[in-house]
Amino acid sequence: MELQELYEHFEEEKRLFHGYASQVEYLTTMHYIHRYANTQAQILEIGAGCGAYSLALAKEGYSLTAVEPVKKHVQIMESRKTRDMDITILECDAAHLPEDWNSKFDMVLCFGPLYHLSRTQEQLQAIEAACRVCKNKGILMFAYIPHDMVMATEIMHVEGFLTGDEFDTKTLQLHNDPFVFHDEQSIDELFHPFPLEKLKHVAADGLAELMSERINRFTSEEFQVWMRYHLKTCEKPSFLGHSNHNLFIAQKNSR
């Protein structure tokens, strides 16, 4: 399915903010962005969606460039930016970043492309482009969707999922359409050819989607405790396979 068609029906602008459970991924990702970005950082977000991260960071005073291939999302970002934000918004995909952006950004956020690029060559092109535009010693963050926990979540919440159209009973794999799934081992292999030093591999939302009904009933105090627990455990390797969204964080070290 083409991205423009997919996001006519999928409300990306609400994905991270429709309950406590959906906020875990956002709060965790922002936690790590703040850990690595200094106040003078020039930040690029590739596949910025509706600007959940880019607009929030620009509001905080960071200098942002947001690149997004879906026209609807670009229009939403444009409508929400304010005059005091230092943000540039471009309709563009990960494979066609401007040629003069070489070593331009201190931090590159790539939270969308690996969700949708199904061919390995396309994934490698997106990673290569992100590395090209990042400064040496700059920070890159890539989000991806782990296969096995998504499968567990779907089985938990969708009646008849194992005999439906989204799961191959012969290969025991989810179909990579419209979303693409990885596991933590294949992600390490995918990034191996590039001049990247892995800093963190994070379970961005951990058990939040599987436990969403319970987490969404938390009191504010309970949710704060849950977030403290989650941030304490999200770097444990054992949690990477028990999360619906993971975050790979690396530093560019030119060889």
All structural domains of the chain, each given as residue ranges with its CATH number in brackets, are 1-144+182-250 (3.40.50.150)
Strands (DSSP E) contained in the chain are: 42-46, 63-68, 87-91, 105-110, 134-146, 167-168, 173-174, 181-182, 196-203, 246-252
Give pLDDT tens digits for 109-140.
999 899 988 888 999 999 999 999 999 999 99
241 band by pLDDT with thresholds 50, 70 and 90 = confident
Nearest to 241 by CA among 123, 116, 152, 120: 152
Distance (Å, whole) CA 32 – CA 26 = 10
Give pLDDT tens digits for 197-206.
999 999 999 9
**Cα distance from N-terminal residue to C-terminal residue, the chain:** 38
The predicted model scores a pTM of: 0.93
